Amino acid sequence: MSRRVRVNPIACEAHGMCAELLPERIVLDDWGYPVLEQGPLHGSQLEHALRAARACPTFALLVERERKRGRG
Amino acid sequence: MSASSPTIAQPRPAAGLQPPEPALPRLLSGIRPHGALSLDEHLAVHGPLPGGSGGRRRARERGMMLIAEVERAGLLGHGGAAFPTATKMRAVASARRRGIVVVNAAEGEPASLKDRTLLESLPQLVLDGAIAAAEAVGADEVIVCACESADMGIESVARAIEERTRASSERLPGLRLATVPGHYVAGQESALVSFLNGGPAKPTFTPPMPFERGVGQRPTLVNNVETLAHVALIARHGAAWFRELGTPTQPGSALVTLSGPIAHPGVYEIEHGASLSSLIRAGGGATARVRGALLGGYAGSWVGAAHLDGVALSNEHLAPHGASLGAGVVLLLSEDACPVGETVRLARWLADQSARQCGPCVHGLDALASALAELAGGIAGAGVAQRIDRLASLVARRGACGHPDGALNPLLSALDAFQAEFADHARHGPCAACSRPAEMPLPDRPPSDATARDRPSRA
């Protein structure tokens, strides 16, 4: 089952830890909020993603199993 | 825009067979210029809602049949997103817990009057739709959410609930009215659910989606009030009848709020695919030369005057213009107004309507509004187009709700539709019309932190 990163934009307060810990996938925008490069995570990237999620001070970075979305 | 009496249009596309009987109005049948139809009057126009008898099992069967009928009808949501109604209903119906139905008439859309018109004039049709939907999804509670600024609609629904409850021999779901703060994003699904759960009317992070866990953690069907009014008629007349009007991909009719330089602004019922020019004719014609039209609402798109002639009002016809029917808004802008000045004001208003929860929305919309203001003032300097493009890419799809994405539509499409005017302002600064009073309504309703506790619900 593949996993991917997602940000809860309401919880995110632009601490920027995620871009330090997962630079392969995350850059910061003009205001310090993460811009994610999407796609399934494997190997070391998955490890880095999990580490970044644990390090986020507001728990705004999520590593999720793929799920069907977009209803509503 | 002042509230004006709803009017009925029967604009039809150029091609197509004329049905033997007048096909419109549907929703607006029997409507009066002022005041609501009573339950008796409503029943005289539409007849009774089928069902209402038999045990729970029979009700369940009838419910599943209605969902199938709504699916065959191809009904799409009228709140703006045009999501298939049956898909939502099925999701709530198949959940294990008992569901709840939320009638969304929060209508924070400044250029729309259709939702409050339904509440004000046809509250029993609204209740019909909600009751039918509740039976379909197995819900035992209905909450009608009205915008706090819709005084007459609130009165009218409260009376209708009383009348319905008194008159009814059938088993009714619990019917309740809630008044919701009037700011723009309050009508967003998750914001409504948050408000009904005791929080502020601000969008929340999803999942869970309302149909999974909504009001009181229960699976919640949130439908626009017009969508449910269509359900009330599909329950009576069926899918084939519904499809007699409209286009194959967007069947049926729609309520449209027509405003701007028009002889009779107001709410009209049109067939999907009707031409814009026939709607304007039905509205008594334009009272000034038209520079462009904002279609869909403040999350919709501008179409410039040069392209308006051939425009048909359905999503498939509007897609090539980058527009959609959205919440049924057709706002005409006169030649007297400055589209650049209007866009600058709209951009600032949309930035101010941010619930201020998501960084990219808070900072991005603000920066966009500033960039547009500089452009309009002729002080932006070279590279402003690239700056705006870049800001738009930083805003898109990065909010918890659709507001940032919706806000981009009228701003970016204005740059396109009014290219010459923007270029002129960039070179020469403000024009004479820039300082004229705004033509587009921009109500002063700042995002509110008020919770339901501050505003007790009624009925």
The tens place of each residue's pLDDT in chain B, 459 residues long, gives 334 445 555 554 444 445 445 689 999 999 998 999 999 999 999 999 987 667 778 888 999 999 999 999 999 999 999 999 999 999 999 999 999 999 999 998 999 999 999 999 999 999 999 999 999 999 999 999 999 999 999 999 999 999 999 987 778 999 999 999 999 999 999 999 999 999 999 999 988 999 999 999 999 999 999 999 999 999 999 999 999 999 999 999 999 999 999 999 999 999 999 999 999 999 999 999 999 999 999 999 999 999 999 899 999 999 999 999 999 999 999 999 999 999 999 999 999 999 999 999 999 999 999 999 999 999 998 899 999 999 999 999 999 999 999 999 999 999 999 999 999 999 999 999 998 899 999 998 889 888 887 755 544
Q: What is the ipTM of this complex?
A: 0.92
Q: Does A27 touch chain B (CB under 8 A)?
A: no
- Name the residue among B88, B189, B360 with its Cβ closest to that of A9: B360
The answer to whether the Cβ–Cβ distance between B189 and A31 falls below 8 Å is no
Distance CA A15, CA B435 (A): 42
Is residue B283 located within the same domain as residue B257?
yes
Please count the structural domains in chain B: 3
**Residue B66 placed within a domain:** yes
Distance CA B269, CA B260 (A): 17
Residues of B with Cβ-Cβ distance to A56 under 8 angstroms: none
DSSP bridge partners of B103: B144, B223
CB contact under 8 A, A33 and B210: no
C-alpha distance from B203 to closest chain A C-alpha (Å): 9
Q: Where are the alpha helices (DSSP H) in B221-293?
A: 225-242, 276-282
Q: Do A10 and B204 count as a contact with CB atoms less than 8 A apart?
A: yes
Q: Check residue B459 and give its pLDDT.
A: 42
Q: Which residues of A touch B402 (CB under 8 A)?
A: none
**Residues A72, B363: C-beta atoms closer than 8 Å:** no
Q: Name the domain boundary from B276, B300, B334.
A: B334
Nearest CB neighbour to A10, from listed B81, B205, B209: B205
CA distance B239 to B231: 10
B207 to chain A: which residues are within 8 Å by CB? 67, 69
Asked whether residue B441 is assigned to any structural domain, the reply reads no
3-state class (DSSP) for residue B330: strand
Report the largest interatomic distance among the alpha carbons of chain A, rounded to a whole angstrom.
35
User: Measured between CB atoms, does A39 come within 8 Å of chain B?
Assistant: no
Please say if the pLDDT value at position A72 is more than 70. no
- Considering the domain architecture, whether residues B43 and B180 belong to the same structural domain is answered as yes
Q: Do A12 and B358 lie within an 8 Å CB cutoff?
A: yes
Place of tokens 């008020």: B450
Written as one string, the DSSP assignment of B391-403 is: HHHHHTT-SSSSH
For residue B205, list chain A residues with Cβ-Cβ distance below 8 A. Answer: 8-11
Asked if the Cβ–Cβ distance from A9 to B367 is below 8 Å, we say no
The architecture that CATH gives domain A3-65 is: 2-Layer Sandwich (3.30)
* End residue of a domain, out of B192, B216, B242: B242
* CB spacing of A30 vs B394 below 8 angstroms: yes
Domain harbouring B288, CATH code: 3.10.20.600
Residues B238 and B373 in one domain: no
Query: Would an 8 Å CB–CB cutoff place B83 in contact with chain A?
Result: yes
Look up the domain containing B76 and give its range: 39-242
Q: Is A8 on the interface with B (CB under 8 A)?
A: yes
Do B133 and B227 have their domain in common? yes
β-bridge pairing A26-28 and B266-271: unpaired
Chain A CB within 8 Å of residue B367 CB = yes
* Nearest CB to A10; choose among B83, B394, B400: B400
Nearest CA in chain A to B207: A69
Domain-located, residue B6:
no
Residue B9 lies in a domain: no
Peptide bond into B251 cis (omega under 30): no
Residue A31 to residue B210, Cβ atoms within 8 A: no
Q: Which residue is closest to B363 within chain A, CA to CA?
A: A31
Q: For residue B55, how many other CB atoms are within 10 A of its CB?
A: 8
Query: Is residue B307 domain-shared with residue B361, that is, in the same domain?
Result: no
| The pair of three-digit structure tokens given for residue B129, joined into one six-digit string | 């739709």
For B86, nearest residue in chain A (alpha carbons): A72
Quick one: B114 and B187 in the same domain? yes
B362 and B423 housed in the same domain: yes
> The whole model's pTM is what?
0.93
Distance CA B386, CA B237 (A): 53
Structure tokens at B333: 């802008």
Q: B396 — contact with chain A (CB < 8 Å)? A: no
Instruction: Confirm or reject contact between A30 and chain B (CB < 8 A).
Output: yes
B236 & B299 share domain: no
Please give the Cα distance from B311 to B293 (Å, whole number).
Answer: 10
Residue B293 contacts residue B322 (beta carbons within 8 Å): no
- B283 and B416 in a single domain? The answer is no
Instruction: Write phi, then psi, for B180 (nearest 5 degrees).
Output: -115, 140
SS3 category, B324 = coil
Whether chain B has a CB inside 8 Å of the CB on A10: the answer is: yes
CATH number at residue B73: 3.40.50.11540
Cis peptide before B208 (omega within 30 of 0): yes
What letter represents residue B439's amino acid? E
Interface of B with A in 161-220 (CB under 8 A): 189, 203-207, 209-211
Q: Which two tokens stand for residue B251?
A: 């069947």
**B189/A72 touch (CB, cutoff 8 Å), yes or no:** yes
Helix (H) or strand (E) holding B291: strand B290-295
- Cβ <8 Å between A35 and B394: yes
Residue B316 belongs to a domain: yes
B94 secondary structure, DSSP code:
T
Q: Are residues B90 and B147 in the same domain?
A: yes
Q: How far is A14 from chain B (nearest CA, A)?
A: 8
pLDDT at A71 over 50: no
Cα B238 to the center of its chain, rounded Å: 24
**Residue whose pair of structure tokens reads 């038209």 in the numeric block:** B290
Q: Is residue B61 part of a domain?
A: yes
B47 and B195 belong to one structural domain:
yes
Domain residue spans of chain A: 3-65
Same domain, B218 and B277: no
Residue B287 lies in a domain: yes
Q: How far is B390 from chain A (nearest CA, A)?
A: 10
